[in-house]
A and B are shown apart, each in its own frame.
Chain A
Amino acid sequence: MFAFLIHFLVMTGIFAIVALSLNFQVGLTGLSNFGQAAFMMIGAYTSALMYTAGIPFIFGVLAGMVISSLFALIIALPSSNLRADYWAIVSIAAAESLRLFVNNEKWLAEGPFGLRGIPRPLSSLFGDNYAVFYLFFVLACLGLVYFALERLNKSPFGRVLRGLRETEDLMEALGKNVFRFKAIAMIIGGLVAALGGSLYAHYITFISPETFAPEVTFLVWTMIIVGGSGNAKGVMVGALVITLLNTSTRLLKDFLYLPTSLVAALRTLSIGLLTIVFVVVRPQGILPERKHVVSYSGGEEGSETTMPGRALGGGGR
């Protein structure tokens, strides 16, 4: 039971990181990025391959972030002034093409067979208690990501992002290079997602192109819709709820004697239904986005008033 709890928390932590990354792109900037799984894949594969090759863990992770930044740029470049649905299609297409590439080019990373036995950093130090150590490690990363992204959100940079979410033209008229801001938002989201991917790879120790199918992206989207798009705490709650749903149904399998594939399908079904229910009934999520009150001292306090019905940016047009 304890082991399950640790596992659940680690997965929650990892997905919370990815959810925060997607929130930064979707919730704050209004970019409908449906290719997040690809960024995770880049981070996962890069750090796995590099660490296996003997390069220090941190460099592998950083390299993954750099490559995902490039990929983010590739998506942002042709898409910048496209509306939300085009962004969605282009990002899925790009992600799937990348996945296809990794799957086909066996010399790169074993293609469809994936990478097994990915080494875990510092595993020799912790032996049996590794999972607990890893949990703290993930939570530390999560804390870092949370504070960093929140800091950006409250900064002038974050204001421009939130401004171009709904009113791109206004931002341009006020002298902001909208394309640059969108590209940077994609890059930041991308490299945080890559971090999530790396953490995933070294925990589960097995990854393949199948691991990063579009379903993963949809899962993270459900997290931000259910949790509250535009609210960092909200999407973390969303990650908790969805991961709970995900992992507990795995437990159910042992009690209900249902075939694994059926349980998996039921799980996807309930997540799809959850998305629909929330979109229709409570699009702002469990914790809606809060308005930013700027105090005179230049810092910020959150406000008690939550914003009614403000949900899911989706393109500044």
Chain B
Amino acid sequence: MLDVRNIDKAFGGLQALRDVSLTVEEGTITGLIGPNGSGKTTLFNVITGFYEKDRGTVTLRGRSIGDLPPHSIADRGMVRSFQIPQVPRGMTVMENMLVAGQGLAGENPIAVFLRGSAVRRQDQEMVGRAEVLLDRVGLLKQRDELTGSLSGGQVKLLAIAQTLMTDADLILLDEPTAGVDLALTDQIMDLLKDIHSEGKTMMLVEHKMRVISGVCEYVYVLDAGEVIASGEPAAVQSDQRVIEAYLGAEESQKARGWR
């Protein structure tokens, strides 16, 4: 479904991604792991149009999306969440969900006046859909709360609910369980499996091995901007190169005085 080939991306003198290629098959959950700074989020940003790649191609369902801006890519059916959740503090949970709706007539200011009743009807539908999704992630009670008052875990759930609201077929989640406690991690894992069973395709950036082994069918490992291994979670976890990459990263972080 998603075909990424030979991606290069450099920032000034730093080569963040080097000849990265990966494929996400339709209907699967694919994982993207790697030590801190290996380029996972950068790759996400390139794929979803937030960064311009220096070289390579990105194809979604056979059509090239490499040069498209993020909103066009979302239009084509691929959405993403953010590692550091983007939370518009001034809006309620319900509004956050409504804004994720696609193809809303009411987003055209002229339509708001000239097709008022149609806009209202669509809004009503969206509210209904949103309520179902919010209930699913357990946020229905908070529907009219400002997102600024949500806990970190709740924000993560909201982000996932938002991606569901877009009805996209390919969902990219950047560390959906980062900073989240054990119980909530399990809850999110179950949610992801649920979504998967509905036929959605997903790619996750993750740090927690539990999540990767529990949820992903296929995993890519990134280190210093290069894909060093790929395969099923069990195989990848025992891959010598992967272990070294993680250990190496730990060592160099210790040397730099970060730990």
Taking beta carbons and an 8 Å cutoff, which residues of A are in contact with B?
148, 151-152, 155-157, 159-160, 162-163, 165-167, 169-178, 184, 188, 230, 289, 291-294, 296-299, 303, 307, 310
Contact = CB atoms under 8 A, between A and B. Distances in A.
B124 A298 contact: yes
B205 interface: no
A205 to B, nearest CB: 33
Interface of B: 48-50, 69-72, 74-75, 79-82, 86-92, 94-96, 98-102, 104-109, 112-113, 119-124, 127-128, 144, 146, 148, 162, 166
B50 A155 contact: no
A292 B91 contact: yes
A294 B101 CA distance: 15
Listed from nearest, the 3 A-B pairs whose CB atoms lie closest are A156-B106, A175-B74, A298-B124
B99 A173 contact: no
Given A156-B119, A167-B86, A170-B86, A296 B74 contact: no
A171 B94 CA distance: 15
A166 B88 contact: yes
A169 B50 contact: yes
Given A156-B106, A157-B108, A172-B50, A165 B69 contact: no
Nearest to A305: B146
A148 B113 contact: yes
Contact of B75 (A151, A170, A175): A175
A68 B105 CA distance: 26
Given A163-B88, A165-B90, A292-B91, A157 B112 contact: yes
21 contacts: A152-B109, A152-B112, A156-B107, A159-B91, A162-B95, A166-B88, A166-B89, A171-B71, A172-B49, A172-B70, A173-B71, A174-B99, A175-B102, A176-B99, A177-B72, A291-B92, A292-B91, A293-B94, A293-B144, A294-B95, A296-B127
Given A156-B123, A291-B92, A175 B82 contact: no
A188 B109 contact: yes
B88 to A, nearest CB: 5
Contacts of B72: 177
A111 B107 CA distance: 41
Nearest to B45: A169
Contacts of B106: 155-157
A169 B86 contact: yes
A176 B102 CA distance: 9
Contacts of A148: 113
B218 to A, nearest CB: 24
A307 B112 contact: no
B90 A173 contact: no
A310 B90 contact: yes
Given A156-B123, A163-B88, A297-B124, A291 B113 contact: no
Contacts of B122: 156
Contacts of B88: 162-163, 165-167, 170
A307 B146 CA distance: 8
Given A165-B90, A298-B123, A151 B113 contact: yes
- B49, B69, B92, B95 interface centre (most CB from chain A within 10 Å): B95
B107 A292 contact: no
Contact of B146 (A159, A291, A296): A291
A169 B108 contact: no
Given A148-B113, A294-B127, 16 more contacts: A152-B109, A155-B119, A157-B109, A159-B99, A162-B91, A166-B89, A170-B88, A172-B49, A172-B70, A172-B74, A173-B48, A173-B81, A174-B79, A178-B71, A292-B95, A310-B148
